[in-house]
């Protein structure tokens, strides 16, 4: 249950998609002076060494962030995300990669707050070491799916929530949607980013169908797969279902994903930018 360690996968193609969408979303929220919360249900350790034994064993970053690190003529929409990574690496060599909590902490203002959940003892200890001294950060050694509902609605009435479990347990697929539906009932104006792996296409279709049954309007699906769908090959891609997306996000990703696919595809890469439920309005006002 606690065997998953993100250090083996840091900086892979799934991280690129997830963290790019996260940075674009947070930057949109930062356009307003009003403070907001960032909530991370599965925070991990917050920071990763790409020269560690774990990262070097799989070298998944080589088909992810390493490609963008070396790419010329990077689109403008990618610059802020890449700048966060450059700020971690003093030289031209890519040695460090940030997790979502580090990215959020680096972007948020003094008045904003971070609520971070992590259950794995080693990762929680590392997270505390990396971000525990930040007065804006509140850490909980707890299952974030159980802890999230107790935070809603936030006192700021503005929040971005990232839900990205490892999906080690088959029940995670149903649990995330059940939690998301309950969270939306408590706090319908927040932005929720629900990450998912593409391992079996039927599971992704089932997640989308279940989300459609919740009655939540304007759910945006963003997906990128550098490999063609294939049973038995492990994770061939990943995606996010975004509730109350910033109104710019769909257009930004429609522009970025073809470029990312050109850089990172390993064969028949493919991507999706589509609303799986009808839009109620143009998106989150943040």
In this predicted structure, the answer to whether residue 268 has a pLDDT above a threshold of 70 is: yes
Q: What is the 3-state secondary structure of the chain?
A: CCCCCHHHCCCCHHHHHHHHHHHHHHHHHCCCCCCCEEEECCCCCCEEECCCHHHHHHCHHHHCHHHHHHCCCCCHHHHHHHHHHHCCCCCCCCCEEECHHHHHHHHCCCCCEEEEECCCHHHHHHHHHHHCCCCCEEEECCCHHHHHHHHCCCCCCCEEEEECCCCCCCCHHHHHHHHHHHHHHHCCCCEEEEEEEECCHHHHHHHHHHHHCCCCCCCEEEEEECCCCCCCCCCCEEEEEEECCECCHHHHHHHHHHHHHHHHCCCCCEEEEEECCCCCCCCECC
* Residue 202 covered by a domain: yes
The whole model's pTM is what? 0.95
Domain containing 230 equals 6-275
Q: What is the pLDDT of residue 144?
A: 96
The two three-digit tokens of residue 29, written as one number: 């929220």
In a domain, 59, yes or no: yes
Position 177 in a domain: yes
Q: Residue 284 domain-assigned?
A: no
Residue 286 has pLDDT above 80, yes or no: no
Whether the pLDDT of residue 210 is over 90: the answer is yes
pLDDT digit string (tens) for 213-256?
999 999 999 999 999 998 877 899 999 999 999 999 999 999 99
Q: Assign residue 151 the CATH number of its domain.
A: 3.40.50.150
User: Dihedrals φ, ψ of 53, to 5°?
Assistant: -60, -40
The whole-number average pLDDT for the span 163-172 is: 90
pLDDT digits (tens, 9 = 90+) for 179-191: 999 999 999 999 9
Annotated binding site: 19, 42, 100, 118, 143-144, 164
What pLDDT, in 10s, does the model give residues 61-116?
A: 889 899 999 999 999 999 999 999 999 998 889 999 999 999 999 999 999 999 99
Q: Is 282 contained in some domain?
A: no
Active site residues: 164
- How many structural domains compose the chain? 1
Could you tell me the pLDDT band of residue 1, with boundaries at 50, 70 and 90? very low
pLDDT of residue 10: 87
* Residue 43: closest CA among 102, 93, 88, 96: 102
Asked whether residue 286 is assigned to any structural domain, the reply reads: no
Residue 279 reports pLDDT greater than 70 = yes
Q: Is 238 a member of any domain? A: yes
Which segments are annotated as binding site for S-adenosyl-L-methionine?
19, 42, 100, 118, 143-144, 164
pLDDT at 143: 93
Residue 247 resides in a domain: yes
């Amino acid at each position: 249950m606690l065997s998953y360690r993100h250090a083996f996968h840091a900086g892979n193609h799934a991280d690129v998609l997830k963290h790019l969408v996260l940075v674009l979303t947070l930057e949109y929220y930062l356009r307003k002076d009003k403070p907001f919360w960032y909530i991370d249900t599965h925070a991990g350790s917050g920071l990763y060494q790409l020269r560690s034994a774990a990262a070097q064993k799989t070298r998944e970053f080589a088909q992810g962030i390493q490609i963008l690190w070396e790419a010329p003529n990077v689109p403008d929409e990618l610059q802020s995300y890449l700048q966060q990574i450059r700020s971690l690496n003093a030289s031209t060599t890519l040695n460090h990669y940030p997790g979502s909590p580090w990215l959020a902490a680096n972007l948020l203002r003094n008045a904003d707050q971070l609520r971070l959940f992590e259950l794995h003892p080693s990762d929680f200890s590392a997270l505390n070491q990396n971000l525990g001294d930040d007065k804006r950060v509140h850490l909980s050694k707890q299952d974030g799916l159980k802890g999230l509902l107790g935070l809603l609605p936030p006192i700021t009435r503005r929040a971005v929530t990232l839900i990205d479990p490892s999906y080690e347990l088959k029940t995670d697929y149903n649990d995330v949607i059940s939690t998301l539906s309950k969270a939306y009932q408590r706090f319908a104006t927040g932005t929720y980013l629900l990450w998912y792996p593409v391992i079996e296409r039927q599971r992704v279709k089932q997640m989308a169908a279940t989300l459609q049954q919740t009655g939540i309007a304007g759910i945006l699906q963003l997906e990128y797969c550098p490999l063609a769908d294939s049973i038995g090959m492990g994770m061939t891609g990943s995606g996010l279902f975004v509730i109350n997306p910033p109104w710019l996000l769909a257009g930004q990703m429609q522009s970025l994903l073809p470029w990312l696919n050109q850089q990172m595809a390993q064969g028949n890469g493919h991507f999706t930018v589509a609303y799986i439920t009808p839009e109620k309005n143009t998106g989150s006002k943040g």
